[in-house]
Amino acid sequence: MSALQAPKGTYDMLPDAAERRDGIVRTAARVFAAHGYRRIVTPEFEDTALFERGVGEATDIVRKEMYTFADKGDRLLTLRPEGTAPVCRAYVEHGLHKLPQPVKLWYHAPMFRYEKPQSGRYREHYQLGVEALGSPEPTVDVEVIAVLAAIFAELGIADLRLAVNSMGDRACRPAYVALLRDYLRGREQELCGDCRERLELNPLRTFDCKVETCRAVLDEAPRIVDHLCDDCRDHFDRVLGLLASLDLQPEVDYRLVRGLDYYTRTTFEFSCDRLGAQSGVGGGGRYDGLVEQIGGPPTPGVGWGSGLERITLAMGDASPAPYRVDAYVACFDDAARDRAFLLAESVRRECPAAVELDLLGRSPKGQLKQASRLGAAAVVFVGLSELPADMVRVRLLGSGEELDVPADGAAAWLCERLERGL
């Protein structure tokens, strides 16, 4: 029988990678806290209908990429493919619209999409995200962007570009979409089959097309930023002005559109040149129609998502700090093994030190080698023949100093020395 492997498009995080990941999330959590965002955790699966309504039945995500199944009670459920719809669902379900607005939330969670695995893209991938619900102010758009920029800065990610666009709103977008459709119909012969379909269903989605001839046609297409109503224009100008004041150097990118009705006004994306073709490291936008779309009261909202795999790639190959322990308990006498174990456990209870001990019955030499491999600052010897049974010897590896201390006070003594830096 062949050995089993992790499913296609998933990955294991071994301890070095998991610790690096934890560090990224801790850094992000500090930035979130500084900006007043609080963590929310929603279920790994939801009713399929939430994503059909909250992501859009016409999207690739809903049509092709969801992990959907019926449970034993014949409920149609889907593993969460994205974070925004579940957060909006929770916002409505728990009446968060009655709290002082905006409600500012962040999440760190796995997302599931059945797509072709490629560099930094997985079928189960982890995402950081924020959603700020309840304020239409352009300052909130800029705040969420500033939060993401601050996380990247804290993580030392450089070479970033920030693209922004405005999608207009219900007042001005329909006229623009009609204008775009007319323009594309005039050049339909130059479009790929997909884009000819999109041109009827949702012409905005032609901006996503990677086909060269389509891109050439769209380069000359009318741009939505030239067709905004006064309110949308004012909103966009304030966003651009504030981003510039924060030195975030926004570049207006007319291709940055989201083809769903509930996206409004600001869209944005950070990309990192060192990542090559798939250079996006995080993006989002304003979705003033979404909460209403999933059955809540009309509620403005803006947010972003950023894949942790992409963040890790953008950070480059930082070699992880080696795993270290503070103290190692060595035992050179089989009869004293339980005492050694209990001493290690009492140090762990006494202070937040990392303590390891021999759990394999290694030779004395093997134990010392293991202690130095683990970078222990102190080794405690239990069961030395030259000492009375109620005494242990502590060797401080930095100075080479050795002291004999009573076994029952050893934990407190060691913790006190570790606290002082030995």
By CB under 5 A, is residue 325 in contact with Zn ion? Answer: no
**Dihedrals phi, psi of 195, to nearest 5 degrees:** -70, -30
Q: Between residues 167 and 336, which has the closer beta carbon with respect to Zn ion?
A: 167
Q: How far is the CB of 7 from Zn ion (least distance, A)?
A: 32
Which of the stretches 15-23, 122-130, 225-233, 371-379 binds Zn ion when contact is defined by CB under 5 A?
Answer: 225-233
Note whether 224 binds Zn ion by CB under 5 A: no
83 half-sphere exposure, CB direction, 13 A CA radius: 26
Neighbours of 149 (CB within 10 A): 21
171, 175, 321, 403: which one binds Zn ion (CB under 5 A):
171
* Phi-psi region at 36: left, alpha or beta (left = phi > 0; alpha = psi -120 to 50): left
The token duo for 5 is 């492997």
In which residue are the tokens 């207006």 written? Answer: 252
The residue among 123 and 265 lying less far from Zn ion, judged by its C-beta, is 265
Q: Is 180 in the site for Zn ion (CB under 5 A)?
A: no
3-state SS assignment for residue 230: helix
Contact between 160 and Zn ion (CB under 5 A)? no
CB of 104 to Zn ion, least distance (A): 25
Residues 280, 267: Cα–Cα separation, whole Å? 13
The residue (of 197 and 408) whose beta carbon lies closer to Zn ion is 197
Half-sphere exposure of 44 (CA within 13 A, CB side): 7
CB 125 within 8 A of CB 282: no
Position 221 contacts Zn ion (CB under 5 A)? no
Q: Does 172 bind Zn ion (CB under 5 A)?
A: yes
Interface residue with Zn ion among 162, 232, 314, 377 (CB under 5 A) is: 232
The helix/strand/coil state of 398 is coil
Residue 193 or 388: which CB sits closer to Zn ion? Answer: 193
Establish if 211 lies at the interface with Zn ion (CB under 5 A): yes
Q: Which residue of 195, 224, 302, 355 would you call a contact of Zn ion, by CB under 5 A?
A: 195
Per-residue interface string for the shown chain with Zn ion, residues 63-82, x marking contact by CB under 5 A: --------------------
Given 25, 29, 146, 192, the residue binding Zn ion (CB under 5 A): 192
Asked if residues 331 and 383 have their Cβ atoms less than 8 Å apart, the reply is: yes
Q: Is 410 in the site for Zn ion (CB under 5 A)?
A: no
The verdict on 243 binding Zn ion (CB under 5 A) reads no
Q: How far is the CB of 169 from Zn ion (least distance, A)?
A: 4
Using CB under 5 A, which of 46, 169, 326, 356 touches Zn ion? 169
Residue 217 touching Zn ion (CB under 5 A): no
Residue 138 to residue 208: CA distance in whole angstroms? 26
Strands 68-70 and 160-166: unpaired
Minimal distance, residue 231 CB to Zn ion, in Å: 5
Q: Which window, 65-73, 128-136, 227-235, 245-253, contacts Zn ion (CB under 5 A)?
A: 227-235
Name the segment binding Zn ion (CB under 5 A); options: 169-177, 180-188, 245-253, 330-338.
169-177
The answer to whether 79 touches 71, Cβ cutoff 8 Å, is: no
Q: List helix spans (H) across 256-354.
A: 290-293, 308-315, 337-350
How far apart are CB 227 and Zn ion at their closest, in Å?
A: 9
Is 61 a binder of Zn ion (CB under 5 A)?
no
CA dist., res. 400 & res. 378, Å (int): 9
CB of 212 to Zn ion, least distance (A): 9
Smaller CB distance to Zn ion: residue 229 or 391?
A: 229
User: Closer to Zn ion at the Cβ: 134 or 168?
Assistant: 168
Q: Write down the residue that tokens 């970078």 correspond to.
A: 375
Asked whether 135 and 303 are in contact (CB, 8 A), the reply is: no
Amino acid at residue number 348: R
| CA quadruple 110, 280, 153, 123: dihedral, nearest 10 | 20
Which of 75, 86, 89 has its CA nearest to residue 110?
A: 86
| Per CB under 5 A, 209 contacts Zn ion | yes
DSSP per-residue codes, 130-152 = EEEES---HHHHHHHHHHHHHHH
Q: DSSP string of 406-417?
A: EGGGHHHHHHHH
Q: How many residues bind Zn ion (CB under 5 A)?
A: 11
Which one, 227 or 395, has the nearer CB to Zn ion?
227
Residue numbers of the site for Zn ion (CB under 5 A)? 168-169, 171-172, 192, 195, 209, 211, 214, 229, 232
